[in-house]
Structure 1
Amino acid sequence: MRIVLVGPPGAGKGTQAAYLAKNLSIPHISTGDLFRANISQGTELGKKAKSYMDAGDLVPDEVTIGMAKERMSQPDAANGFLLDGFPRNVSQAEALDGMLKSEGMQLDAVLDLEVPEDEVVKRIAGRRICRNDSSHVFHVDYSAPKAEGVCDACGGELYQRPDDSEETVRTRLDVYHTQTEPIIDYYRAQGLVATIPALGQVNEVTERAMAALSHKGKAA
Structure 2
Amino acid sequence: MSVIQDFLRYNRQMILPEIGDSGQDKLKKSKVLVIGAGGLGCPILQYIATAGVGTIGIIDFDKIEIHNLHRQILYTEDQVGLSKANTAKATVEKLNPLITVLAFEEKLTIDNASKIIADFDIVVDGSDNFTTRYLVNDTCVALDKILVYGSILGFEGQLAVFNHQGSKNLRDLFPEPPNPDDVPNCSFNGVLGTLPGMIGTMMAHETLKLIIGLPSLRNELILFKTTEWGFLKLAF
Asked whether the two chains share a fold, i.e. TM above 0.5, the reply is no
The structure number with the bigger radius of gyration is: 1
Query: Which has more strand, going by share of residues?
Result: 2
More RCO (CA 8 Å, sep 6+): 1
TM-score by length of 1: 0.32
